[in-house]
Chains A and B, each alone.
Chain A
């Protein structure tokens, strides 16, 4: 039965598509086959989520090698949900990609672009699906290396320094993670996550495990771009091709966040991570710093892509804050926001992609008068922005609701206030753009020649916008899955 092999197919399909794109060297073919592969991955992810919701955890032994000797792929509600998000965003972004990529990337490099894109997707899905920590590291490198390539493919020269900076930080992060994994292996002799979680309690008192924990936390935090380890992110998002910004912003940090959840909750366990080690306090402080520093920095950006990048740093703060509550509600909020933020940032970066397609770049200067020149694109941007602020009927509201409830449950009402105040900062930076777009006359150079973006780009953008609204009103899927995932991670029975 093929459905048995879904976990491995999830990774293999995009992984094999990558060399195919490179071999055939045809732009159209590369795009078509990538699109097909991504939608297949989406379908597989949906089937997997459905299976886990109905039958519980799926365990798949690679090549028939029994665990813990072989590599195990293990799908529970948590990673099935993340798989679905990654595959869904990738599929929508690819729909959008054809014209955007043709415009922003050198003609001859387009097959190479889709090769790297598929590798990145395979890497991200692999990280999420695997139940083996070393395998996770390998996939992390695959996705990271391919994303450096994706960023460097941009025609802007600054993309090269951005990619280099990202490579530098990313490699440090990966090394730290590898050191952490090595130390764990040293203490337990296993790389399987389930096995690790059973063997670790016997050795938790040792300094080695505590060191491993520290290395892993810092390493993963670099990948998440948690303040103060976020410096690679703004440039990487700002100078990457539009499609890459949308894809990476909506998925890469989310997957890294998932890795954090996996290590903290499944492998080390709540009591070690939050009672033995003071992680919740550290996270809380860093999360608050991220929320305020990120949003404040966003207010002063002139490049809109950078603005959104800083906003991402702030939004990551919300997710980390959710973790620091170490409660079902807090964790539900974090996982919900992981999904919701992917939808918001995906939609916002795609609408910027439309603008870059017509205007070549997206600084405040270019936004002037766009409300009139590109009404659908700007309307999408406004709704995405409202979702970022957390206005009711958008997904942002749902995330904030759970975060605040989580804070109040613990009696930490200053944190609840902080969440709400931080969302007001989002109001400021979103509205700066809105005012320029709707109240300033277009610069004379643009008036007349700038038209609405092509339909093949508008439709995917609006698909994500509608998802922002839909999941803000009907949350039975997202909240249901997120709270089940949170319970699984915390080991609380239903």
Chain B
């Protein structure tokens, strides 16, 4: 199969899937089957693309030219493909999980749910495969819109209020700052294409370029840099599969992916490293890491705690990007994947606990590990991956990120990273600790094992083994991340 056909397939599969689900939604089994088949097809077509792309091929696809000289086009490059593979692989797992979860919760409006889910994945693919900034921006906005019905799925007053916050904090910065930055870039560089090494060098004074870079950093509020992070905790009113795949993987990773693309292919890492503004932004990222960790520690609701943990971990990725060194980029890229596996596992577990015991607060976790040993063990593994302890993949990404702080001469940032890792150990490990070692409350004691539905357990098992697998097989990921900054040390 030629690369272009595979690309066409990868791009159109989720959209076709969404339409099929929308029109065949009457039967639960049909829409669930359609979701899983779509996810598998998507992953397969991306996998077909992979070898050639990692070897240096750059298949592309031209769709339309809405503005003269500015087209909607797709181009596959390693970073985007990695993001696409990650999202689509985890979509398969999430689909399996959804089947168990949504049935057990007896949720309604499932046709809308599965349709919007597929649509969100389509827009995420559009972002991952985007061939220029305009396309990336268009799909970035569409991702916000297509996830909105998922966030407000329950239709309750709280969902509506959270939905407003979600939409406001994602759309407002993107239309106010990001679009402005985009047009400004177009004005300065005359192109919105992704150029190896960046297209902005020398087009304006460093001070102006610094402002432009800050506009990107805050305009892309999906990366949840403080103070524009409030949408992410708000999004937690959504059903667990949405929080797991979209708000731990597709949406937030879409944000940091956008930032990585801008850093690598619009500014170029050399330019980013020189800008004065970057030094300030580094401290914003560092503050986000620390503050979000502290807030996470104070949250008793498990999903809220995980959400703030996500904000903190996104800060790591953003920090690595802003450090703009080869190891920083490698660390960021690796952490994109490691955190995805770790956090999706944690969300799956939180959902499973909710299903089996109706418990949502950390303070209620006493003894849950006795009733749900499998789920709690998976939670432990996911936590290790986030904290960065062996035998989980998170070690490697944190390793490179810490290395990058030293390379760039920011010892203070190293301290921040280590402190935050300690904090994350504190706020995450509390859960299995209470689950396994605290006595069960009277009503649950001695009830034996009561786990979530099998489909959920299967998904949890897969992602948890993914966390461990990444520890042992991180070298291929490293090889991909290396492709992003050719010509720098680390040979």
Contacts of B160 in A (CB 8 A): 435, 439
Q: Is the pair B64, A473 in contact by a Cβ cutoff of 8 Å?
A: yes
Interface membership of B184, Cβ < 8 A:
yes
The yes or no answer to A401 lying at the interface (CB within 8 A) is yes
Asked if B137 and A405 sit within 8 Å, CB to CB, the answer is: no
Instruction: Tell me, in angstroms, the Cα distance from A129 to B232 when the chains sit together.
Output: 55
Chain B CB within 8 A of A203 CB = no
Chain B interface category by residue count: 20 to 34
Task: Say yes or no: A393 contacts B138, CB within 8 Å.
Answer: yes
> Are A424 and B172 in contact, CB atoms less than 8 angstroms apart?
yes
CA distance A475 to B164 in the complex (A): 32
* In the complex, chain A residues whose CB is within 8 Å of the CB of B134: 392
Taken together as a complex, chains A and B put the C-alpha atoms of A145 and B145 apart, in Å, by 44
- In the complex, what distance in Å separates the CA atom of A393 from the CA atom of B175? 14
A50 at interface, CB cutoff 8 A: no
Contact of B183 among A405, A421, A435, A439 (CB under 8 A): A405
- Contacting residue for A417 out of B138, B145, B164, B180, CB 8 A: B180
Q: Are B141 and A392 in contact (CB under 8 A)?
A: yes
Task: Find out whether the CB atom of B164 lies under 8 angstroms from the CB atom of A431.
Answer: yes
Q: Give A381 to B167 CA distance when docked, in angstroms.
A: 18
Q: Check if A424 sits within 8 Å of B68, measured CB to CB.
A: no
Give, as a whole number of angstroms, the nearest-CB distance from A333 to chain B.
Answer: 12
Does A427 contact B164, Cβ atoms closer than 8 Å? no
The one of A409, A416, A427, A474 in contact with B64, judged by C-beta atoms closer than 8 angstroms, is A474
Interface residues of chain B: helix, strand, loop or mixed (majority): helix
Are A391 and B141 in touch, CB under 8 angstroms?
yes
Q: Mark A400-419, 1 if CB is under 8 A from B, else 0.
A: 11001100110001001100
What's the least CB distance linking B243 to chain A, in Å?
Answer: 20
B179 within 8 A of A: yes
The 8 A CB mask of A281-311 against B (1 = contact, 0 = none) is 0000000000000000000000000000000
Q: Which residues of A lie under 8 Å from residue B184 when comparing CB positions?
A: 408, 413, 416
| A424-B175 in contact (CB<8A) | yes
A390: contacting residue among B67, B72, B163, B175, CB under 8 A: B175
Known A421-B176, A423-B175; contact A408-B183, beta-carbon cutoff 8 A: yes
Question: How far apart are the CA atoms of A386 and B137 in the complex, in Å?
Answer: 16
Enumerate chain A residues within 8 angstroms of B176, measured Cβ to Cβ. 417, 420-421, 424
Chain B stretch 180-199: residues in CB contact (< 8 A) with chain A: 180, 183-184, 186-187
- With A404-B183, A420-B179, A427-B171 known as contacts, the answer to whether A475 contacts B67 (CB < 8 A) is yes
Q: Does A183 contact B (CB under 8 A)?
A: no
| A138 within 8 A of partner (CB) | no
- List B contacts of A400 (CB < 8 A): 179
Which B residues are CB-close (under 8 A) to A423? 175
Q: CA–CA, A392 to B179, complex, Å?
A: 10
Kindly state whether residue A126 has any CB partner on chain B within 8 Å.
no
**B177 to A: closest C-beta gap in Å:** 8
B142 at the interface (CB under 8 A from A): yes
> How far apart are B337's CB and chain A's nearest CB, in angstroms?
28
Give A419's nearest chain B residue, CB to CB.
B180
* Residues B104-135 near A (CB distance < 8 A): 134
How many chain A residues sit at the interface, stated as a range, is 20 to 34
B65: Cβ under 8 A from any A Cβ = yes
* CA of A450 to CA of B152, assembled, Å: 25
Residue B66 at the chain A interface, CB threshold 8 Å:
yes
Docked CA distance A128–B408 (Å): 65
Q: Tell yes or no: A3 within 8 A of B by CB.
A: no
Contact of A409 among B145, B168, B180, B187 (CB under 8 A): B187
What is the chain B residue whose CB lies nearest that of A400? B179
- Near B by CB (< 8 A), chain A positions 362-403 give 386, 389-393, 398, 400-401
- Kindly state whether residue B486 has any CB partner on chain A within 8 Å: no
B409 at the interface (CB under 8 A from A): no
> How many angstroms between the C-alpha atoms of A404 and B168 in the bound complex?
21
Q: Mark B201-237, 1 if CB is under 8 A from A, else 0.
A: 0000000000000000000000000000000000000
A459 at the interface (CB under 8 A from B): no
A420 x B67 contact (CB < 8 A): no
A156 to chain B, nearest CB (A): 32
Q: How far is the CA of A401 from the CA of B67 in the complex (A)?
A: 9
Docked complex Cα distance between A435 and B134 (Å) = 29
Taking the complex as formed, is A472 at the interface, i.e. its CB lies under 8 A from any CB of chain B?
yes
**Could you tell me the distance in whole angstroms from the C-beta of A38 to the nearest C-beta in chain B?**
29
Q: Which residues of B contact A479 (CB under 8 A)?
A: 67-68
Chain B contacts of A439 at CB under 8 A?
Answer: 152, 155, 160
Min CB distance, B475 to chain A, in Å?
39
A476 at the interface (CB under 8 A from B): yes
Q: What's the Cα separation between A103 and B314 when bound, in Å?
A: 57
List of B residues within 8 angstroms of A392 by Cβ: 134, 137-138, 141-142
Contact B72 A408 (CB under 8 A): no
Which chain B residues lie closer than 8 Å to A474 at the CB level?
64-66
Bound form: Cα–Cα A472–B65 in Å: 10
Q: Which residue of A lies closest to B186 (CB)?
A: A405
Once A408-B187, A439-B152 are accepted as A-B contacts, the answer to whether A398 and B66 lie under 8 Å apart by CB is yes
Q: How far is the CA of A400 from the CA of B67 in the complex (A)?
A: 12
Once the chains are docked, how many angstroms separate the CA of A3 from the CA of B72? 39
Give the residue name and chain of the B residue nearest to A471 (CB).
B66
B145 with A472: CB separation less than 8 A: no
On whether the beta carbons of B187 and A393 are closer than 8 Å, the reply is no
- A471 to chain B: closest CB distance in Å? 9
User: Which A residue sits closest to B134, measured CB to CB?
Assistant: A392
Cα of A420 to Cα of B180 in the assembled complex, Å: 8
Is the beta-carbon distance between A404 and B179 smaller than 8 angstroms? yes
* Closest chain B residue to A386, Cβ basis: B145
Nearest CB of chain B from residue A416's CB, rounded to whole Å = 6
- Residues on the B chain within 8 Å of A472, using CB: 66
Please, how many angstroms separate the alpha-carbon atoms of A151 and B72 in the complex?
43
In the complex, chain B residues whose CB is within 8 Å of the CB of A398: 66-67
A-side contacts of B180, CB under 8 Å: 404, 416-417, 420
Q: In the complex, what residues of B have CB within 8 A of residue A427's CB?
A: 167-168, 171-172, 175
Shortest C-beta distance, B145 to chain A (Å), equals 7
CA distance A435 to B68 in the complex (A): 36
Assess the A473–B187 pair: CB atoms within 8 A. Answer: no
CA distance A427 to B145 in the complex (A): 12
**A-B pairs with beta carbons under 8 Å apart, 15 shown:** A389-B175, A391-B145, A392-B134, A392-B137, A393-B138, A401-B67, A401-B183, A405-B186, A408-B187, A423-B175, A424-B172, A435-B160, A472-B66, A474-B64, A474-B66
With A391-B145, A427-B172, A479-B68 given, can you name 12 additional A-B contacts, CB distance below 8 Å? Answer: A390-B175, A391-B141, A393-B66, A393-B142, A398-B66, A398-B67, A404-B180, A404-B183, A408-B187, A416-B184, A420-B175, A423-B175
- 4 nearest A-B residue pairs (beta carbon): A392-B138, A404-B183, A408-B187, A439-B160
